[in-house]
Structure 1
Amino acid sequence: MESHKDCEINAPHSMGTTIIGVTYNGGVVLGADSRTSTGVYVANRASDKITQLTDNVYLCRSGSAADSQTVSDYVRYFLHQHTIQLGQPATVKVAANLVRLLSYSNKNMLQTGMIIGGWDKYEGGKIFGVPLGGTLLELPFTIGVANSISSLVPTFFASLCGSVTCNEKLVNSLQVHLLAVIICSGSTYLYGFFDQAWKEGMTQEEAEQLVVKAVSLAIARDGASGGVVRTVTINSEGVTRKYYPEDKLPRWHEELEPQNSLLDMLSSSSPEPMVS
């Protein structure tokens, strides 16, 4: 029974996630894994976390799936109205500021971090990060690795409220700050990797390979990330989506090829020795 209790099947869906945005010489590349989790239960192994906002702007979602979907729907609607009124597509910065405004205005309720990337004729390829709280960061590359921690929060507050008197406002406030600290805890190794691997003036192929390699590394190390890798490349020529199944991803040293078991060897007519 304890294992069922820990599974948290009814916990909120989380894009327990690795999302990445990288600029290169001519555009941007966005990448994400595809695992959606509910507590420790994998609810979806092939979700698409890169959402289209306009023809030239896309958004990577992490944290609460419901929150990030709602924010992206509102931003898409406002950008559509903006395009109709001005008669031209919105810039990447306009889209990023709309995401920031919605995130900041609802920072006590939202549990999501997002990356906005795209290309426009005024500033070229741009990447913006909007973490929890609504800060807007323009960077050459942005990383967000969100751990699925919804099952940890009730335990934390149960231990906290055992020693002090907790009201609802205090719990909500502390929960938001706890999430703000933990949601990107898994990105430490990726930031070190990017500090070494990222360089200015990369080609499109180099940027795409970097994103795929980084997401693969996060999948190998982060239990909240998994599935396939999806990328979106945006430049002056348009948008290109790519999909990398698990067998096409880079392999790491601990991911060994499966070997025959002893039972397989005994049942085989010509058993082969096990490889150590």
Structure 2
Amino acid sequence: MDGITNVPIAHLKKGEVNLGTSIMAVQFKGGVVIGADTRTTTGSYIANRVTDKLTHIHDRIYCCRSGSAADTQAVADIVHHHAQLYTSIYGSAPPVATVAALFEKLCYENKDQLSAGIIVAGWDEEKGGSVYNIPLGGGTFQQPWAIGGSGSTYVYGYCDATYQENWGEEETIEFVKNTLALAMSRDGSSGGCIRMCVITKDAARRIFIPGNELPRFWEGKEVVGSSAGATAQVPGAAAAAVAAVGPYAGLVDEASANSERNLKHS
């Protein structure tokens, strides 16, 4: 325990603190799927490996938190309180847009004191499933999918190329799982496990994926384009140029001759 109680906190707080997170929410026909990694960092020190960054706001409304854990927890607690008051006063659950507006108001009015990036997602009678992104400093942006945190910078291209409208629940769950796993594998400040929640009219269902069951991506174990394999595909003059290097010249010349022969007979 001495190693834990004697962590040099003063040293960790020097300079900018690395706030690593990967969060995501995706709308589908019938609801939304939200997800996040579980790593909380203080500089290079992992303070918590199994954090729950998906916070319950109301029965069918959750938020994903990124930024300072203390700031986002405090803001989420305040909005949760107001959401319960709304239900007591009006006798019904607040719309997702109303909850997003509360988050935006708090984040914008306190932007100089807070480090909080929030994604609000849920289901209501008016719009069904909906997703609202509230970045650092405030602002509300309704989107079919939203990503946030340090890990999001690695997966914008993947999301743009992969996402399709009118997905069902299972396709959306798979998309969120793969996106978060990819972000976690590339971002050193994100990691741990994946927590997801599927929110529909009928229920809010939690999904937990431990670290040893995450989808795997290429991690450098394969050698793409080994010497023999790469040169065997080089035709014509380019092969002659490559042939100048080392003991594989004979292989390259033979491959080049075969390639040119095939071109003549094609």
Q: What's the TM-score, normalizing by structure 2? A: 0.77
Q: What is aligned with 2:173? A: 208
The answer for the alignment partner of 2:63 in structure 1 is 59
Cα distance in 2 for residues equivalent to 1:196 and 1:55:
33
| Paired residue secondary structure (1:53) | strand
Which residue identity lines up with residue 215 of structure 1 in the other structure?
Answer: L
Q: Report the identity percentage.
A: 41
Structure 1 residue 136 corresponds to structure 2 residue 147 = no
**Between Structure 1 and Structure 2, how many residues are aligned?**
215
Change (3 A) 1:202 1:99: same
Structure 1 position 188, deviation (Å): 3.1
> Of 233, 238, 245, which aligns to 2:203?
238
User: In 2 relative to 1, CA 13–48 (structure 1 residues): closer, same or farther, beyond 3 Å?
Assistant: farther
Q: CA deviation at 1:255?
A: 6.9
Displacement of 1:70 in angstroms is: 0.4
CA distance in 2, matches of 1:128, 1:119: 12
Query: What is the DSSP-based 3-state SS (H/G/I as helix, E as strand, rest coil) of the residue aligned with 2:155?
Result: helix
Flag the 1:204–1:131 CA change in 2: closer, same or farther, 3 A. Answer: same
- 1:123 paired with 2:124, answer no
Is the counterpart of residue 72 in structure 1 residue 86 in structure 2? no
Q: CA deviation at 1:189?
A: 3.0
Instruction: Give the root-mean-square deviation of aligned CA atoms.
Output: 2.1
Counterpart in 1 of 2:214? 249
Aligned to 1:81: 85
**What is the alpha-carbon distance in structure 2 between the residues aligned to residue 98 and residue 145 of structure 1?**
20
Classify the secondary structure of the residue corresponding to 2:58.
coil
Cα 1:13–1:245 change in 2 (3 A) is: farther
Which whole-Å CA distance do the structure 2 matches of 1:224 and 1:7 have between them? 18
179, 185, 188: which one aligns with 1:220: 185
**Offset of 1:122 from its aligned partner?**
1.0
CA–CA separation in structure 2 for the residues paired with 1:26 and 1:15: 33
Gaps of 5+ in 2: 1-7, 222-266
CA distance in 2, matches of 1:82, 1:13: 36
Matches within 5 A, 1:82-97: 82-97=86-101
Query: Is residue 19–residue 43 contact of structure 2 (8 Å, CA) maintained in 1?
Result: no
Q: How far 1:145 sits from its partner (Å)?
A: 2.1
Match of 1:229 among 194, 200, 206: 194
Determine if the alignment matches structure 1 residue 196 to structure 2 residue 200.
Answer: no
Distance change >3 Å, CA 98–CA 43, structure 1 → 2: same
- Structure 1 residue 11, shift from structure 2 partner: 8.6
Secondary structure at 1:17 match in 2:
coil
Structure with greater contact order relative to length (CA < 8 Å, sep ≥ 6):
1
Cα shift at 1:237: 1.5
Q: CA deviation at 1:187?
A: 2.4
Greater shift, 8-17 or 48-57, is seen at 8-17
**Structure 2 CA distance, aligned partners of 1:188 and 1:127?**
19
3-state secondary structure, aligned to 1:73: helix
- Shift of residue 12 of structure 1? 9.5
**Aligned equivalents of 2:97, 2:158: Cα separation in 1:** 27
- Give the aligned residue type for 1:187: S
Structure 1 moving runs of 4+ over 3 Å: 4-7, 9-15
Structure 1 residues 255, 229: closer, same or farther in 2, change over 3 A? Answer: farther
Larger C-alpha radius of gyration, 1 or 2?
A: 2
- For 1:10 and 1:37, the matched residues in 2 are separated by 14
TM-score by length of 1: 0.74
Q: 1:226 to 1:246 in 2, by over 3 A?
A: same
- Structure 2 match to 1:187: 152
